[in-house]
C-alpha cells in the first residue's frame, strides 16, 4: 500500500509557474484565485496580460520575462527559447537540467492557451488576408509543446476544463496527477489537429482543390446518442460547425438511426417548394413525398403512398405545423416530427403522443460539399449529387408528354435521387404513390413500387408517371410499369438495349424521356 502511495506521489507534479494566453478571457476569474492560493507565478501577453492585471492579480508580461519585445505586429510573442525550453525540458534528464541552469531558464509547469477564433472569423468574412491573420502560430506551438511533455507539464486547451483544473489542484494541494495531464494532453492534440484541419480544408476550398493528396476531416462532439444503429453499439454525433442548427423542442434523446433518417429527410425537403412539402422517411428511404399548397392535402398524399411503412417513421415539413395538421399527424404514430416550426396549440396536441420527438429545422442550412463513405481505415470521397437532368430531357417515344406530365416526371426523378438504388418512383401529379428501393434487381423495384401503388392508391396508378434512377437493362421493367397503368417514364438511358426498351414503351403507348444523368444512391 505504501509503495502505491509513493508511486502516486511521484506522478504528482507541483505547479510553480504558468503561462496564460487566451482569446476567450471570460472564465479567467475561475482559475486565477486557485493559482494565487498555491503561489503560482503567471506569465502572460497581450490582452490576457492586461485582463489579469485589471483583475488585480500578479502577472509578468512575456516580453519582460524573455527580455525580447513582441514583434511583427504580434506575430512573434511566445515563440522564444526561454518559453519553450521551460516547457519542453524533461525534469529527470540531467543534461536538460544542466542546459537550463546554464541559460538561467526556469520551468514552466502549466500552459493555459486557446487559439485564435479562425472558424468564427470564417463565418464573418471571406477576406483572404484577414483570415490569414487569424491563423494562430504561437498558440498551437505552446499547446503541442506542453502536450508532448505531459509527464512534467499540464496543458489546458479548453475553457470547459478550467473547473477540472481547479478541482485537481485542490485535491492534490497545488499539483496535478499524471492521469489528468495525459487526458489534457490528448485534448490539446485533438484541438490542434482540428484547428489545422479547418484551415487546410479552407485553403483547399479557396484553391478549388476538391481531392487533395492529404485529406483531413474535423468534427466537434455535439451529442452522445442513445445508441448506434443497434442498442449494443455506442453512437455519437459530430459536426464541423459549433452546432447542427436543429433544435429538439420535445422528447427523449435521439439515436444514430434517428439522425440518419432526419438527415435523409432534410435534403429532400430542401428540394421541394417552400411551405408545401411533406416527406416521410423510413430507414433512410422516402416512403411518401408530396407537394401541395394545402398543408393537410400534402400530408395525406404523402401518407397514402405507404401508410404501413410510415408507421414509426420520421415525417418532415418545410412549413409551420398548424393545429389542424397536428390533429391529423396524431392519428398515426411517428417517432419524429421535423418542421420549420410549431404553432402553440399544435405543440400541445403533439405532446400528447407518447415517445414522440419534435425537431425544429428552421435554421438548418444543408451544405453538402462532399460525400464520404467509411470502411475502417479507408474512405471514399465524392462530389454531392446536386444536379437533376443533363441540360434537357429528350423524349424518345412517339407519344409526347403534356406540361403537367413533364412536371410530374421531373418531380418523380428528383425523388429517385434521394432513394436507394435500384430506385423506382411512381407519381401522380406531385405526390408519390409507390416507391421501390434498395433492390439488387430493377425489376424487383418495379414490382414493389407498383404493388405498393395498387395496394394503397389503386385509383391513382392509372395514368401515373414513373422514374428510374438508372437505365432499364431490359424491357421487362417497362412492361411491368405499363401493365400497372403508368403512362410516362423518365430514366437516364444509356443501356445497350435502349432500342428494345423504347420499342416496348411505344408498343404499350407509354411516353419515355431520357435525362442522360444517372442517380445511384448506395
pLDDT digits 0-9 by tens, 193-252: 999 999 998 888 889 888 888 888 888 898 999 999 999 999 999 988 777 788 999 999
Name the band, by pLDDT with cuts 50, 70 and 90, for residue 1. very low
The span from the CA of 211 to the CA of 14, in Å, is 47
Alpha helix stretches (DSSP H) within 417-519: 442-456, 476-484, 498-508
Return the SS3 of 209: coil
Name the band, by pLDDT with cuts 50, 70 and 90, for residue 125. confident
Domains of the chain, residue spans: 2-206, 251-360, 394-514
Cβ(422)–Cβ(445) below 8 Å: yes
**What pLDDT does 118 receive?**
86
For the segment 296-321, what is each residue's pLDDT rounded down to a tens digit?
999 999 999 999 999 999 999 999 99
pTM of this prediction?
0.87
Q: Higher model confidence: residue 374 or residue 430?
A: 430
Instruction: Tell me how long the chain is.
Output: 522
Residues 6+ apart with CB under 8 A from 493: 394, 396, 471, 514, 515, 516
Residues 6+ apart with CB under 8 A from 478: 472, 489, 501, 504, 505, 508, 510, 512
Q: What is the dihedral of CA 415, 419, 424, 428, to 10 degrees?
A: -30
For the segment 499-521, what is each residue's pLDDT rounded down to a tens digit?
999 999 999 999 999 999 999 99
Average pLDDT (272-298) is 96
Class of domain 394-514: alpha beta
The span from the CA of 466 to the CA of 491, in Å, is 9
Cβ(320)–Cβ(343) below 8 Å: yes
Return the SS3 of 232: coil
Q: Which CATH number fits domain 251-360: 3.90.110.10, 3.40.50.1240, 3.30.450.20, 3.40.140.20?
A: 3.40.140.20
Catalytic residues: 148, 283
**What is the overall mean pLDDT for the chain?**
92
Alpha helix stretches (DSSP H) within 21-135: 28-37, 46-54, 62-66, 81-88, 94-103, 118-124, 128-132
Average pLDDT (353-373) is 84
| Percent residues over pLDDT 70 in the chain | 97
Is residue 69 classed exposed, middle or buried when 0-12, 13-18 and 19+ CB atoms within 10 A define those classes? exposed
CATH number of 2-206: 3.40.50.1380
Q: What does the block give as the cell for 484? A: 400497372
Common-topology check for domains 251-360 and 394-514:
yes
Beta carbons within 10 angstroms of residue 473's beta carbon: 16
Average pLDDT (415-440) is 96
Cβ(434)–Cβ(452) below 8 Å: yes
Average pLDDT (406-426) is 97
Q: Which helix (H) or strand (E) segment is 9 a member of?
A: helix 2-11
Cβ(260)–Cβ(280) below 8 Å: no
**DSSP letter (8 states) at residue 273:** P
For the segment 33-71, what is each residue's pLDDT rounded down to a tens digit?
999 999 999 999 888 889 999 999 999 998 888 887 776
Residue with cell 496580460: 49
**What pLDDT does 161 receive?**
95
Amino acid at each position: 500500500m505504501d509503495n502505491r502511495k509513493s508511486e502516486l506521489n511521484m506522478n504528482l507534479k507541483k505547479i510553480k509557474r504558468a503561462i496564460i494566453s487566451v482569446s476567450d478571457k471570460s472564465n479567467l476569474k475561475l482559475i486565477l484565485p486557485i493559482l494565487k492560493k498555491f503561489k503560482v507565478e503567471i506569465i502572460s501577453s497581450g490582452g490576457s496580460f492586461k485582463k489579469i492585471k485589471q483583475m488585480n492579480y500578479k502577472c509578468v508580461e512575456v516580453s519582460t520575462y524573455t527580455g525580447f519585445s513582441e514583434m511583427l505586429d504580434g506575430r512573434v510573442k511566445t515563440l522564444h527559447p526561454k518559453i519553450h525550453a521551460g516547457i519542453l525540458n524533461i525534469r529527470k534528464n540531467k543534461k536538460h537540467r544542466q542546459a537550463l541552469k546554464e541559460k538561467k531558464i526556469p520551468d514552466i509547469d502549466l500552459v493555459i492557451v486557446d487559439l485564435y477564433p479562425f472558424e468564427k472569423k470564417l463565418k464573418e468574412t471571406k477576406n483572404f488576408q484577414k483570415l490569414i491573420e487569424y491563423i494562430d502560430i504561437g498558440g498551437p506551438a505552446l499547446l503541442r509543446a506542453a502536450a508532448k511533455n505531459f509527464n512534467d507539464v499540464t496543458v489546458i486547451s479548453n475553457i470547459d476544463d478550467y473547473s477540472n483544473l481547479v478541482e485537481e489542484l485542490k485535491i492534490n494541494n497545488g499539483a496535478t496527477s499524471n492521469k489528468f495531464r495525459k487526458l489534457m494532453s490528448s485534448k490539446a492534440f485533438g484541438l490542434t489537429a482540428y484547428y489545422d484541419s479547418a484551415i487546410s480544408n479552407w485553403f483547399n476550398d479557396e484553391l478549388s482543390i476538391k481531392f487533395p493528396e492529404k485529406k483531413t476531416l474535423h468534427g466537434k462532439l455535439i451529442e452522445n446518442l442513445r445508441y448506434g444503429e443497434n442498442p449494443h453499439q455506442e453512437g455519437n454525433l459530430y459536426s464541423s460547425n459549433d452546432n447542427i442548427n436543429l433544435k429538439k423542442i420535445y422528447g427523449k434523446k435521439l439515436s444514430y438511426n434517428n439522425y440518419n433518417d432526419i438527415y435523409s429527410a432534410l435534403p429532400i425537403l430542401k428540394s421541394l417548394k417552400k411551405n408545401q412539402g411533406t416527406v416521410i422517411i423510413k430507414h433512410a428511404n422516402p416512403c411518401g413525398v408530396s407537394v401541395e399548397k394545402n398543408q393537410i392535402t400534402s400530408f395525406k398524399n404523402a401518407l397514402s403512398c405507404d401508410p404501413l411503412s410510415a408507421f414509426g417513421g420520421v415525417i418532415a415539413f418545410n412549413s409551420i405545423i398548424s393545429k389542424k395538421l397536428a390533429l391529423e399527424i396524431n392519428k398515426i404514430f411517428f417517432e419524429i416530427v421535423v418542421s420549420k416550426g410549431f404553432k402553440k396549440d399544435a405543440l400541445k396536441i403533439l405532446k400528447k403522443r407518447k415517445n414522440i420527438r419534435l425537431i425544429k429545422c428552421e435554421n438548418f442550412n444543408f451544405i453538402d460539399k462532399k460525400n464520404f463513405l467509411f470502411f475502417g481505415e479507408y474512405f471514399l470521397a465524392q462530389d454531392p449529387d446536386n444536379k437533376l437532368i443533363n441540360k434537357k430531357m429528350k423524349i424518345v417515344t412517339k407519344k409526347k408528354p403534356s406540361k403537367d406530365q413533364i412536371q410530374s416526371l421531373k418531380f418523380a426523378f428528383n425523388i429517385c435521387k434521394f432513394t436507394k438504388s435500384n430506385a423506382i418512383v411512381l407519381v401522380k401529379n406531385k405526390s408519390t404513390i409507390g416507391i421501390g428501393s434498395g433492390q439488387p434487381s430493377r425489376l424487383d423495384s418495379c414490382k414493389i413500387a407498383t404493388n405498393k401503388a395498387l395496394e394503397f392508391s389503386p385509383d391513382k396508378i392509372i395514368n401515373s408517371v414513373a422514374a428510374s434512377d438508372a437505365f432499364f437493362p431490359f424491357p421487362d421493367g417497362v412492361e411491368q410499369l405499363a401493365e400497372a397503368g403508368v403512362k410516362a417514364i423518365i430514366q437516364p438511358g444509356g443501356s445497350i438495349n435502349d432500342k428494345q426498351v423504347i420499342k416496348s414503351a411505344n408498343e404499350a403507348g407509354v411516353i419515355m424521356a431520357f435525362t442522360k444523368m444517372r442517380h445511384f444512391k448506395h
